[in-house]
Structure 1
Amino acid sequence: MSTRRQFMMTLVPAAAALTAVTGARAQAAKVDEKDPAAVALNYKHDATKVDAKANPTYKAGNNCANCQFYQGKDAWGACPMVGGKLVNGKGWCKVWAKKA
């Protein structure tokens, strides 16, 4: 028969391990340029590869990192326009709006 102390000593490490695994899964995935939301927004991982003729709102220097929707400070950040998936800071899409 287990004592309460033995039970707690088993439960705490198991809970910590479960939290670590769950936290790793909770990180957002990088958006694929072929994702339907990305396609609808003409999203590109590299803004320098945007076809300016097909995207008249694109201007050189506009990228996800200086867009108001970009939620990050790293190379990849979450964007609500693609369902919270990660976009490249050097990327661009047609709903780009200057960060205030």
Structure 2
Amino acid sequence: MKKQDLSRRSFLKFGVAGLVAVPVAGLGWTTTAAAAERLDPESAEAQALQYVHQSEVEGQYCSNCLLYNDPSQEEWGPCAVFPGKVVAADGWCTAWVARG
């Protein structure tokens, strides 16, 4: 019976550790996104989607796009279209999709 208790105890320890790790991992992702390189509008990937730092399309901004991964970022934030880069919250590209 002791062996079963140890297994149950181990399971509970790992379960609690896993629950604690999830929010902590989220903090690391936010820090990584904040430290990411800004997308250069002159880069080939930006030009392919006509990305600009300042939108000229009324009501369409990166910050209100479905692909803007962190709407809480007010100046620069991650975008699913440009992994590893951050885009201007006031920016725009042809991949813009209305946030529902």
User: 1:94, 1:70 → 2: CA distance?
Assistant: 13
User: 2:84, 2:67 → 1: CA distance?
Assistant: 10
The answer for the alignment partner of 1:34 in structure 2 is 42
Q: Secondary structure at the match of 2:52?
A: coil
Structure 2 stretches lacking a partner, 5+ long: 1-30
Shift of the alpha carbon at 1:27? 2.4
Q: Deviations along 1:53-79, whole A, 9 cap, x unmatched?
A: xxxxxx411010000000222211001
User: 1:78, 1:84 → 2: CA distance?
Assistant: 8
Q: Secondary structure at the match of 1:81?
A: coil
Instruction: State the percentage of identical aligned residues.
Output: 34
TM-score (norm 1): 0.60
User: 1:35, 1:86 → 2: CA distance?
Assistant: 13
The answer for the alignment partner of 2:87 in structure 1 is 87
Structure 1 stretches lacking a partner, 5+ long: 1-22, 49-58
The answer for the alignment partner of 1:99 in structure 2 is 99
Shift of the alpha carbon at 1:89? 0.5
TM-score (norm 2): 0.60
Equivalenced residue count is: 67
Q: Secondary structure at the match of 2:38?
A: coil
| Root-mean-square deviation over aligned CA pairs | 1.9
More helix by share: 2
